[in-house]
Chain A
Amino acid sequence: DSGVTQTPKHLITATGQRVTLRCSPRSGDLSVYWYQQSLDQGLQFLIQYYNGEERAKGNILERFSAQQFPDLHSELNLSSLELGDSALYFCASSAGGRLGETQYFGPGTRLLVL
């Protein structure tokens, strides 16, 4: 158990809908990362937050957004969902968000868009 929790574990929704994925980092970690894992793209970095502020952006679509709250939990919002958004979404956390720091991953949220 990494100490990172994600809810829900599974999510089934329809095209055009909006969903929210939630992540709680390990106790004491200030930085949260979101990744998308799909069969064709592999593991792709989406976005990073550090202590409530956005720190880095990767291949995140404009339909997707995230935030980190004062209690350090984070939410990833996916809107206007398309079939191609079906994937496993991972949250990871690290202590200080520094380069090369170990990231600890949650169990993931499996999203299926029908």
Chain B
Amino acid sequence: GDSVTQMEGPVTLSEEAFLTINCTYTATGYPSLFWYVQYPGEGLQLLLKATKADDKGSNKGFEATYRKETTSFHLEKGSVQVSDSAVYFCAYGGSQGNLIFGKGTKLSVKP
């Protein structure tokens, strides 16, 4: 069935390190893809999205490219900050209009 697989955390990095969080999906067609971020004690915030193959979503230094051939949407950031510590969720738009989420990856950035 439809699903999203993202790398398990927690991921611990030093400030200014390079970040990659892998995400692959199984779905029919070409759904819109999303990354959401959840800071401690808060709701989910949209980080970026891409709606078609080869689209690159970007926001706050984060980027992800919609790769149709590998059904992937990996999240990257060149230099993480302590303030990026949060849980990151990969998701895609399901056939019912809902979002189908991965299990989330917790990122901790140390000064």
Contacts and interface: CB of A to CB of B under 8 A. Distances in A.
Interface string A42-72: 1101001000000111100000000000000
A57 B94 CA distance: 12
A106 interface: yes
Interface stretch (A12-20, A76-84, A96-104): A96-104
Interface in B42-95: 42-46, 49, 51, 89, 93-95
Q: What's the interface size class on B, roughly?
A: 20 to 34
Interface size bracket, A side: 20 to 34
Given A42-B103, A42-B104, A56 B45 contact: no
B99 A103 contact: yes
Interface of B: 31-32, 34, 36, 42-46, 49, 51, 89, 93-104
